[in-house]
Structure 1
Amino acid sequence: MSRYIIAVRRWWVIPIALAVLVLMCGSVGTSEIPVPSLVGGMVGARLAYFTPVLIVVAVMYCLERQLREAESTAVAHVRLYDNGALILTVVLTHAAGLVVGMDVARNVTLLLAIALLTRRLANEATAAASGLLLLIFNLILGRAYQPGGHPSHVWWALPLYPAESLAAWLVAVVLFAFALKLSGAGRSN
């Protein structure tokens, strides 16, 4: 089974994607790009805000690679190994979050949950794109202004919450656990 995980699923791609994430976050630092907002004006978004998509694309690449015949006759359930790899990916991302920022680690968890749920309804390509669309949607529609004129975020825009927001962490972890449970039920990977 270890050969299957390495040769077919190619879970070795995830540590490489994490290394690229750390390098990208380190190189762009706090650089921002202007993003239009529907509440008015242009607001800036950190380039590191978009880096969690790298991990989601790498995970969807690994999940897409499969041999259905071999998996249906395997003694061990491949989805258990996949779930283990997904959990390990989130743990490694949180370890990398100590360097790049815990908001990036939280957003990886959130985007992986959204991607797993989307994958259940569609396919891996759509699931990978759903994370990027969620980030862009939050930037365009999820910003608001406080009465003092300072930019803020609306209550549902979880990727925009600060890293220390316990509510955003809780929602991301619960959604990830739900997505793991749902992704394994009924779809043999």
Structure 2
Amino acid sequence: MIYFRVVRRWWAVPLAVGLLCALCWAAGGTEVPVPTLLGGMAGTRVAYFAPLIVVVTVLYCLERRVGAAEGTAVVPVRRLDHGALLATLVLVHLAGLAVGMDVPRNLMMLLALALVVRHYANEAAAGGACLALLLTTAVIGRVHDGTGYASARWWALPLHPAGSVATWLAALLLLSGALLATGRPRHGVPGG
């Protein structure tokens, strides 16, 4: 279909997911130093930042449009976009079985943020907001418990363990809310 191949170029998403998997496998448990608010450095796994690859690719696909044609299309292009987003999530969750389930969960949260920011601003601001979220949670989202081990603050959702049911529910609610909130066209942008 021309929509998927030429206009939106959704074929780039499976390539981005492949790159995400390759990066996670190559990096393994490698950590990058991130400064903490109270001084010192903390290690953050490279896989923590890897979902940005897919989020930026999705933003690229969503920004490619033919406004006049989409505004008069018989099939609502927004529904096709939401279908492609859901297919992306399925693909990333399948990849998560190999690279860790925290990656698809974090991607859901980042994608929710990106969709909302893109809806009210643009794709560059959306990508920047996602990076800012990851950096903020990495820098000030950790706390040391009574035993001296580092754990995530309640609001630093991307740092929570992959098995946290509450974090998964929060990610699902955030993404569902973002899809509902961005279901309307942007003001002044045909088909956007």
Kept in 2, the 8 Å contact 1:39–1:144? The answer is: no
Who is 2:178 aligned against?
A: 179
CA distance in 1, matches of 2:53, 2:143: 27
The answer on 1:31 being equivalent to 2:61 is no
Q: 3-state DSSP class of the match of 1:148? A: coil
Who is 1:93 aligned against?
A: 92
Q: 3-state DSSP class of the match of 1:35? A: strand
Cα deviation, 1:11-36, whole Å, max 9, x if unaligned, reads 00000000000001000000011111
Structure 1: unaligned runs, 5 residues or longer: none
**TM-score, length-scaled by structure 2:** 0.95
CA distance in 2, matches of 1:39, 1:104: 27
Letter in 2 for 1:37: T
Structure 2: unaligned runs, 5 residues or longer: none
CA distance in 1, matches of 2:150, 2:39: 11
**Shift in Å at residue 106 of structure 1?**
0.3
Who is 1:137 aligned against?
A: 136
Who is 2:8 aligned against?
A: 9
Q: CA RMSD in A?
A: 0.9
Who is 1:118 aligned against?
A: 117
Who is 1:167 aligned against?
A: 166
Q: 3-state DSSP class of the match of 2:182? A: helix
Percent pairwise identity: 50
CA distance in 2, matches of 1:8, 1:82: 12
Superposed structure 1 runs of 4+ greater than 4 Å apart: none
Cα deviation, 1:55-82, whole Å, max 9, x if unaligned, reads 0000000001001001011111100000
Higher fraction of helix: 1
CA distance in 2, matches of 1:186, 1:50: 30
The answer on 1:21 being equivalent to 2:40 is no
Letter in 1 for 2:32: I
